[in-house]
Amino acid sequence: MYSITIAGNLESCRTEAEISDATAAVVAVVYEGLDGWHTVVRDEHLNQIDADFKSTVGVAKEMLSHYINRRGENVPDNPTRGALALWLMRKDDGTAMGRRI
């Protein structure tokens, strides 16, 4: 069983989905770059063909697809760290971090 946490990565300027295992350890990170979707597995022992893991990666991609600035393209000029975080977390429903903006 896995859980997904969406986070803005300020250093890489992208929105990511962190996949955690039952112990809350992050085992993989999913993000979309200009060249497509990426899954970075942090746990080398993780069975990547496991049906639950593959399903969770699919759910993570679906969740991320609603974040309009997930790829970090066209960043506003000179944003503060807080403004950049909020910008990365904007969704297609007009909210960011659960609040209407």
Q: What is the pLDDT of residues 43-73, one digit of tens each?
A: 888 877 889 999 999 999 999 999 999 999 9
Q: Which residue has the tokens 């896995």?
A: 2
pTM here is 0.92
Q: What pLDDT, on a 0 to 100 scale, did the predictor assign at position 19?
A: 97
Q: Looking at residues 20-44, what average pLDDT do you find?
A: 95
Q: What pLDDT, on a 0 to 100 scale, did the predictor assign at position 97?
A: 86
* pLDDT range class, residue 21, cuts 50, 70, 90: very high
Q: Looking at residues 11-25, what average pLDDT do you find?
A: 96
